[in-house]
């Protein structure tokens, strides 16, 4: 039986398997031109070093994927990480970190091309 429940976890996945899981309430997503995604993270001090260590290991252009609530991987290239900004909200210190990704889009087939790659098959 398929579940319609969406988890409250956002999982970032490095190509070789290293993962980072964050609570969805601390993650914001903003889309821009050319498939650019900005992932805004709001984290407590105890999480800051782990998150920075995870993202600082990426090289520019390295593949990364992320999954929001176990809905499926979104494949991207790593584009960079912002400087950390320290903030305070109602006496609680937290840190803002922005991660820039570029989503890998699959090409849309040309009109009339139905995805067939064979030749002389008699279907087209």
Q: What does each C-alpha distance from 73 to 78, 80, 114 come to in angstroms? A: 15, 19, 25
Task: Please tell me the predicted confidence (pLDDT) of residue 63.
Answer: 95
| Domains contained in the chain, CATH given | 9-103 (2.40.30)
What digits encode the pLDDT tens for the residues 5-31?
A: 678 999 999 987 789 999 999 999 999
Q: Which of 96, 52, 104 is nearest to 75 (CA)?
A: 104
- pLDDT class of 121 with cuts at 50, 70, 90: very low
- pLDDT class of 37 with cuts at 50, 70, 90: very high
Mean pLDDT, residues 65-85? 94
Residue whose tokens read 């849309």: 108
Given a cut of 80, is residue 123 above it in pLDDT?
Answer: no
């Amino acid at each position: 039986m398929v579940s319609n429940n969406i988890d409250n976890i956002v999982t970032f996945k490095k190509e070789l398997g290293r993962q980072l899981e964050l609570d969805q309430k601390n993650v914001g997503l903003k889309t821009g031109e050319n498939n650019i995604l900005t992932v805004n993270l709001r984290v407590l001090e105890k999480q800051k070093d782990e998150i920075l260590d995870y993202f600082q290991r990426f090289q520019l252009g390295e593949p990364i994927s992320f999954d929001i609530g176990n809905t499926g991987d979104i494949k991207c290239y790593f584009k960079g990480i912002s400087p950390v900004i320290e903030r305070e909200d109602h006496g609680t210190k937290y840190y803002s970190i922005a991660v820039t990704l570029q989503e890998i889009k699959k090409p849309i087939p040309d009109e009339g091309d139905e995805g067939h790659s064979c030749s002389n098959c008699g279907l087209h």
